[in-house]
Copies of this chain bind each other. A is one copy, B any other.
């Protein structure tokens, strides 16, 4: 499926923390040292089989992105 979602960044899962219904998953982006944190449902973590070392794509709708300048 091709998505309208503008931002699709490739990386690798470096940490999964499971809560009661939610979970946080950290993904290191390819080609750099920058890490992205996702707060997703625990159900989604189980369904996708996310664990340390899993290659994963980070997806963010462009309307969710803010910018900052010094």
Contacts and interface: CB of A to CB of B under 8 A. Distances in A.
A62 B38 contact: yes
Nearest to A5: B66
Interface bracket on A: 35 or more
Chain multiplicity (copies): 6
Interface string A4-34: 1111111000000111111111010111111
A1 B66 contact: no
A21 B37 CA distance: 12
7 contacts: A2-B70, A19-B20, A24-B43, A29-B32, A55-B70, A56-B69, A57-B68
Interface of A: 1-10, 17-25, 27, 29-34, 36-41, 43-45, 47-50, 54-70
